[in-house]
Amino acid sequence: MKTRIKTKTILAALAITVSLTAMMNGCAVPESIAAKSGAQLWGENCNRCHNAPDPHTFSDDQWDAAVEHMHQKAILTDTETKKVVEFLKSAN
């Protein structure tokens, strides 16, 4: 009987810890990503394998396709990719 109560107490404590952690982390975008602008991400990532392409190189539609292609190569998150595309489209 005593052990049973103990197990329940431990489980309850675990449940509280888990939900507190979930509340704190939530679905928030990590600050490191949220803080970076598209221009910054472009400057830091798009020159790792080749010269960072000039925004004027392509039209809006072409940037959609090109960066989607680089999304996989550069291993960017969806959020980062979106920011880079928005930056390139705003500057072309």
Contact status: 4 vs ligand HEC (CB under 6 A): no
Check binding of 36 to ligand HEC (CB under 6 A).
Answer: no
**Is residue 48 at the binding interface for ligand HEC, with CB under 6 A as the rule?**
yes
Q: Which residue has the tokens 């472009």?
A: 42
Looking at 1-9, 10-18, 25-33, 40-48, which segment touches ligand HEC (CB under 6 A)?
A: 40-48
We find the least distance from the C-beta atom of residue 72 to ligand HEC, in angstroms, to be 9
Question: How many helical (H) and strand (E) elements, i.e. helices and strands, does the chain have?
Answer: 5, 0
Among 39, 53, 79, 86, binds ligand HEC (CB under 6 A): 53
- Identify the residue among 49, 60, 90, 91 touching ligand HEC (CB under 6 A): 49
**DSSP result, 24-62:** HHTTPPPHHHHT--HHHHHHHHTTSSSPPPPGGGS-HHH
Spacing of C-alpha 51 from chain mean position: 23
Q: Is 56 in the site for ligand HEC (CB under 6 A)?
A: no
Residue 35 structure tokens: 């803080």
